[in-house]
């Protein structure tokens, strides 16, 4: 396995653009999903176990199995494989919540948590609910009036993709009320979208191609165009934080890329 990974990385060095330099990240066999925020990184392997990056080593966090995990200003949240139940990491343990079930959640906004249900309805959990939740009581989610299969928020708004792989953007989402502006369709097609805390946006399309949104600023919150980020292998999932682009390929290889 190590020899195969080394060979694939040689191909990556030859294939990626000059804009990004990629190397194998801390070794995690059969990675499936990764998320980064607030200087921390979590990943899930093909068995559904969540790992937390400590230095250059991964620490297994629980014997529970999960579909998706997200870490950021709202803390660490995850959705379970069984029943899509929502969990928050509290005092060293994943604590199950009552309320709506979510297929995917994102904790990268300004203290709020957003997520999508198995029926592709998008919801938001207010920042006061997210921060104060300690495992008791039912979480009160607000409907965002948008059909989405994946959602992610950052400095300049929230992005999502729907079941037809169309891309949508709302430039404001209040963390205290979950009130949001009108959703606008953005050109392009994506299976998933990830927004960094600084507002950087990356998407992966259904063919495993990776793109970065250009021109994002306080004056142009949705940016101006897409630029392909060449990768040697099809990409399954990405995350971005503090200048580091974390990439999971469809073969389960985890890479760390920097400018």
Q: Is residue 193 part of a domain?
A: yes
* HSE-CB of 250 using CA atoms within 13 angstroms: 12
Q: What value does the mean pLDDT of the chain take?
A: 93
The CATH number of the domain holding residue 181 is: 2.130.10.30
Give the mean model confidence (pLDDT) for residues 138-161: 96
For residue 21, give both structure tokens.
């330099």
**pLDDT of 3 higher than 70:** no
**pLDDT of 2 higher than 60:** no
Q: Is residue 160 part of a domain?
A: yes
Q: Is residue 252 part of a domain?
A: yes
**pLDDT of 225 higher than 50:** yes
**pLDDT of 6 higher than 60:** no
Q: Is residue 16 part of a domain?
A: no
Q: Which residue has the tokens 């927004």?
A: 195
Q: For the chain, how many structural domains are there in total?
A: 1
pLDDT of residue 103: 97
More confident residue, 11 or 203: 203
Q: Is residue 130 part of a domain?
A: yes
Q: Is residue 192 part of a domain?
A: yes
pLDDT digits (tens, 9 = 90+) for 25-78: 999 999 999 999 999 999 999 999 999 999 999 999 999 999 999 999 999 999
Q: Is residue 1 part of a domain?
A: no
Domain that holds residue 216: 22-258
For residue 120, give both structure tokens.
């592709």
Give the mean model confidence (pLDDT) for residues 153-169: 97
| Torsion of the alpha carbons at 138, 144, 147 and 152, rounded to the nearest 10 | -90
pLDDT of residue 69: 98
Q: Is residue 254 part of a domain?
A: yes
pLDDT of residue 134: 94
Residue 15 parent element (H or E): helix 2-15
pLDDT of residue 14: 46
Q: Are 238 and 194 in contact (CB under 8 A)?
A: yes
For residue 43, give both structure tokens.
């990943």
């Amino acid at each position: 396995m190590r020899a195969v990974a080394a060979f694939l990385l040689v191909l990556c060095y030859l294939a990626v653009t000059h804009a990004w330099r990629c190397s194998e990240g801390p070794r995690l066999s059969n990675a499936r999903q990764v998320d980064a925020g607030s200087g921390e990184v979590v990943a899930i392997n093909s068995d559904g176990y969540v790992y937390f990056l400590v230095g250059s080593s991964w620490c297994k966090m629980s014997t529970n199995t999960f579909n998706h995990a997200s870490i950021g200003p709202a803390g660490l949240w995850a959705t379970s494989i069984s029943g899509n139940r929502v969990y928050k990491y509290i005092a060293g343990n994943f604590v199950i919540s009552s309320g709506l079930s979510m297929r995917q959640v994102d904790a990268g906004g300004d203290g709020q948590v957003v997520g999508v249900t198995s029926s592709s309805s998008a919801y938001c959990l207010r920042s006061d609910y997210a921060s104060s939740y300690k495992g008791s009581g039912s979480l009160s989610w607000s409907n965002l009036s948008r059909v989405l299969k994946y959602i992610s928020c950052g400095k300049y708004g929230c992005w999502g993709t729907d079941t037809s792989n169309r891309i949508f953007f709302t430039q404001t989402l209040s963390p205290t009320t979950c009130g949001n502006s009108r959703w606008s369709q953005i050109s392009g097609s994506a299976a998933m979208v990830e927004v960094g805390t600084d507002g950087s946006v990356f998407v992966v399309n259904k063919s495993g191609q990776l793109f970065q949104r250009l021109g994002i600023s306080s004056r142009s919150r949705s940016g101006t165009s897409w630029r392909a980020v060449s990768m040697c292998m099809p990409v399954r999932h990405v995350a971005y934080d503090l200048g580091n682009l974390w990439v999971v390929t469809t073969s389960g290889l985890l890479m760390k890329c920097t400018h």
